[in-house]
A and B are shown apart, each in its own frame.
Chain A
């Protein structure tokens, strides 16, 4: 499909790629810079702030041509992001946790407006109690909002997924906003080697954003008009839903092009050591790296373990996921979130994706861990695989909580020191 000349230029593009040690935050900023974004409405919140500080610095120094405006809240920030996108600007913005929630109603508006901006969410547990470290209750609360969602495992993923998100979001077959999620601290403040594609490579990958009927003097346009009647409302919602579903193949198409240019492959769901795996762990985001290490250790001991990482969370790649999980003996879904009074959020979605599949796994277990950034040790991963192999006596309808004895001791010790301990 691609002519020789283009391929040659691609090779040189790959050669020109730079590798730098970047935090997830700076990788996100680099993606925005390479995407030549026009507008960045911003508002500070830990652990996201480094992204907007980096962009503000670059714009101030003149190495990046864009307008960064600090709004007075995330609600205003997201509103400005949406209307700027409708006016024809390529928009980038970022937030975390409480900030995402403060601007929450705008998420639904932005998708309803079909404003294809990219929002980076740096995951952080949601108050109360207030905390700084990550889990995914913040980003998963936005799962029904009409934003596409991509979850990053590494700092490289952050950069790649932001660029992919722009391409998919702005595609006329989709025309919906995206959230790219990275874990606070574990990625946001952790330096990893990141390959930076050249500006030319990104320009080749990402065509200019052509807005649909933007605000211009030559042609008045009404946006965000109200509807009266459920039939028209349903018509719009179904329209968005269909565009969402199309985003899976648009992503795969874009990802293929990205791989040709950079050599890096991203899929909606990615398998690890799946070939003959009988026991599979499904998870997402940065802790996946720890999960993979556990899988490798188990493999050394002859346990047929494997892992599936969910990269694209919306639209949910049900078919791709079911394909990777078919014929497995037992599957555990590790949720770094909790739907209070129900259990893991992702678990329910995986179960839903598998229900209609032939040869679905015999057992499906829900595991909850890593809340508020709680570390998950190798032993805990191994424990999960152990339960998968020997589920006897365990009620499969309740989730398995990862919480170690020494952590409970830690809580007790803290309470004791504060004079609150009962012993």
Chain B
């Protein structure tokens, strides 16, 4: 990462590939991420999409896109990417198309596809060493269908299928799958987490990943005003808080070697993050659920203690 063309926000390429006035929700955390990916790849890519919020980015006969797009199906966007990549390779090899016509292949899905229904397809694509990018906009639920719980939903979040009730006061009782580690266990050349609040970090990671042939995987933190219940103007601030509270660690793994790309000096209390969103409101009203908040906090501290030790990080972790 020493030689990067992205040092400050001023280095963000000016060329736009995603037009405004598209059908996405106001304040959607994924829009700036997609916009940056398009800039980094200079629009010479086909985005292979699975069912989700962004499926409605293109409603025939309109498109806000200055790049290619392929909608596949819920479970098999990575396989769709495989077909395009393989076809381009063999057609170039057989001399049927010119190498200049080659494009990059990006799988672009939500967490429902990435963590749940499409995990088998992703696993297959990584195992086959498919040369592609996978960008997940992780808004931690099936947002497009009305915010039902997914494999990415964190503990204690309220969703349409994990509503806090008298019998189940904390909301979602399960915990978020660790997709980063699931991917890393497949030993791809590149895995990273990114956040819309940290644009330079994101662009550097795309740049760094582009040096590798094979699966390059990105999980993006994605505030979702309609499911998380926060104001549309709050998305980037919430993203920043997620990083500063240690909820969303920014990291990358090159050939399995994990490195955190941003370390908060002092971890802020997770409460600050939780209180920004309606999906955690039940943890504070009508009564404070101290044990739940404490469990969430302890989980974060545990993670960072482990990281601080292995990566020798200079970070202040309060004791609970």
Query: Which residues on A are within 8 Å of B, measured CB to CB?
Result: 38-39, 41, 65-67, 69, 71-73, 75-77, 79-89, 91, 105-106, 109, 215-218, 220-228, 232
**By the criterion CB–CB under 8 Å, are B70 and A83 in contact?**
yes
**By the criterion CB–CB under 8 Å, are A72 and B121 in contact?**
yes
**By the criterion CB–CB under 8 Å, are A80 and B80 in contact?**
yes
**By the criterion CB–CB under 8 Å, are A69 and B94 in contact?**
no
**Which residue of A has the minimal Cβ distance to B43?**
A220
**By the criterion CB–CB under 8 Å, are A87 and B101 in contact?**
no
Q: Which residues of A contact B49 (CB under 8 A)?
A: 224
Please indicate which of the listed interface residues B55, B78, B82, B89 has the most CB atoms of chain A within 10 Å of its own CB. B82
Interchain CA distance A6-B78 in the complex, whole Å: 46
Q: Which of B71, B88, B121 contacts A223 (CB 8 A)?
A: B71
**By the criterion CB–CB under 8 Å, are B55 and A38 in contact?**
no
**By the criterion CB–CB under 8 Å, are B60 and A227 in contact?**
yes
Given contacts A69-B128, A84-B84, A227-B59, contact A109 B101 (CB under 8 A): no
Interface string of B287-320 (1 = CB under 8 A from A): 0000000000000000000000000000000000
**By the criterion CB–CB under 8 Å, are A109 and B44 in contact?**
no
Chain B interface residue bracket vs A? 35 or more
Given contacts A89-B90, A222-B69, A225-B69, contact A71 B103 (CB under 8 A): no
**By the criterion CB–CB under 8 Å, are A224 and B88 in contact?**
no
Interchain CA distance A85-B88 in the complex, whole Å: 10
**By the criterion CB–CB under 8 Å, are A79 and B44 in contact?**
no
**By the criterion CB–CB under 8 Å, are A79 and B58 in contact?**
no
Q: Which of A71, A83, A87, A88 contacts B124 (CB 8 A)?
A: A71
Question: Does B231 have its Cβ within 8 Å of any Cβ on chain A?
Answer: no
**By the criterion CB–CB under 8 Å, are B86 and A67 in contact?**
yes
Interchain CA distance A109-B51 in the complex, whole Å: 13
Given contacts A76-B79, A76-B121, A220-B67, contact A67 B73 (CB under 8 A): no
Q: Which residues of A contact B202 (CB under 8 A)?
A: none
**Which residue of A has the minimal Cβ distance to B130?**
A69
Q: Which of B56, B66, B72 contacts A224 (CB 8 A)?
A: B72
Interchain CA distance A349-B201 in the complex, whole Å: 61
Q: Which residues of A contact B25 (CB under 8 A)?
A: none
Interchain CA distance A86-B97 in the complex, whole Å: 14
Interchain CA distance A222-B54 in the complex, whole Å: 13
Shortest distance from the beta carbon of A151 to any chain B beta carbon, whole Å: 27
Given contacts A220-B65, A225-B60, contact A89 B87 (CB under 8 A): yes
Question: Does B75 have its Cβ within 8 Å of any Cβ on chain A?
Answer: yes
Q: Which residues of B contact A82 (CB under 8 A)?
A: 72, 80, 83
Interchain CA distance A84-B69 in the complex, whole Å: 14
Shortest distance from the beta carbon of B312 to any chain A beta carbon, whole Å: 39
Q: Which residues of A contact B124 (CB under 8 A)?
A: 71-73, 76
Interchain CA distance A68-B73 in the complex, whole Å: 22
Given contacts A39-B87, A71-B124, contact A222 B65 (CB under 8 A): yes
Given contacts A77-B79, A88-B97, contact A217 B71 (CB under 8 A): no
Q: Which residues of A contact B55 (CB under 8 A)?
A: 226
Interchain CA distance A85-B80 in the complex, whole Å: 11
**Which residue of B has the minimal Cβ distance to A65?**
B94
Q: Which residues of B contact A38 (CB under 8 A)?
A: 87, 90-91, 94, 96
Q: Is the interface of A mostly helix, strand, loop or mixed?
A: mixed
Interchain CA distance A131-B44 in the complex, whole Å: 48
Q: Which residues of A contact B4 (CB under 8 A)?
A: none
**Which residue of A has the minimal Cβ distance to B78?**
A76
Given contacts A106-B76, A216-B103, contact A87 B87 (CB under 8 A): yes
Shortest distance from the beta carbon of A194 to any chain B beta carbon, whole Å: 27
Please indicate which of the listed interface residues A221, A223, A225 has the most CB atoms of chain B within 10 Å of its own CB. A225
Q: Which of B70, B73, B84, B123 contacts A72 (CB 8 A)?
A: B123
**By the criterion CB–CB under 8 Å, are B101 and A83 in contact?**
no
**By the criterion CB–CB under 8 Å, are A88 and B83 in contact?**
no
Q: Which residues of B contact A73 (CB under 8 A)?
A: 120-121, 124
Shortest distance from the beta carbon of B63 to any chain A beta carbon, whole Å: 5
Shortest distance from the beta carbon of B24 to any chain A beta carbon, whole Å: 13
**By the criterion CB–CB under 8 Å, are A84 and B103 in contact?**
no
**By the criterion CB–CB under 8 Å, are B82 and A76 in contact?**
yes
Q: Which residues of A contact B44 (CB under 8 A)?
A: 217
Q: Which of B59, B61, B73, B89 contacts A106 (CB 8 A)?
A: B73
Shortest distance from the beta carbon of A60 to any chain B beta carbon, whole Å: 15
Question: Does B152 have its Cβ within 8 Å of any Cβ on chain A?
Answer: no
Shortest distance from the beta carbon of A387 to any chain B beta carbon, whole Å: 46
**By the criterion CB–CB under 8 Å, are A80 and B86 in contact?**
yes
**By the criterion CB–CB under 8 Å, are B72 and A226 in contact?**
no
**By the criterion CB–CB under 8 Å, are B120 and A88 in contact?**
no
A-B contact pairs, 18 of them (CB 8 A): A76-B79, A82-B72, A83-B48, A83-B70, A83-B79, A83-B80, A85-B87, A87-B83, A87-B88, A89-B91, A220-B68, A222-B63, A223-B71, A224-B69, A225-B59, A225-B71, A226-B55, A226-B58
**By the criterion CB–CB under 8 Å, are A217 and B102 in contact?**
yes
Interchain CA distance A85-B68 in the complex, whole Å: 16
- Give chain B interface residues in 35-67, CB to chain A under 8 Å: 43-44, 46, 48-49, 55-56, 58-61, 63, 65-67
Q: Which of B58, B63, B86 contacts A69 (CB 8 A)?
A: B86
Q: Which residues of B contact A41 (CB under 8 A)?
A: 79, 82-83, 86
Question: Does B3 have its Cβ within 8 Å of any Cβ on chain A?
Answer: no
Q: Which residues of B contact A85 (CB under 8 A)?
A: 83, 87
Shortest distance from the beta carbon of B232 to any chain A beta carbon, whole Å: 23
**Which residue of A has the minimal Cβ distance to B118?**
A76
**By the criterion CB–CB under 8 Å, are B80 and A226 in contact?**
no
Contacts beyond the supplied A72-B121, A84-B86: 13 A-B pairs with Cβ under 8 Å: A38-B90, A38-B91, A38-B94, A67-B90, A71-B124, A76-B124, A217-B44, A217-B102, A222-B63, A222-B65, A222-B68, A222-B69, A225-B60
Interchain CA distance A232-B80 in the complex, whole Å: 25
**By the criterion CB–CB under 8 Å, are B96 and A88 in contact?**
yes
Interchain CA distance A218-B100 in the complex, whole Å: 8
Shortest distance from the beta carbon of B62 to any chain A beta carbon, whole Å: 8
Shortest distance from the beta carbon of A357 to any chain B beta carbon, whole Å: 39
Interchain CA distance A82-B142 in the complex, whole Å: 26
Interchain CA distance A89-B90 in the complex, whole Å: 8
**By the criterion CB–CB under 8 Å, are A67 and B89 in contact?**
yes
Q: Which of B43, B72, B100, B123 contacts A79 (CB 8 A)?
A: B72
Shortest distance from the beta carbon of A136 to any chain B beta carbon, whole Å: 26
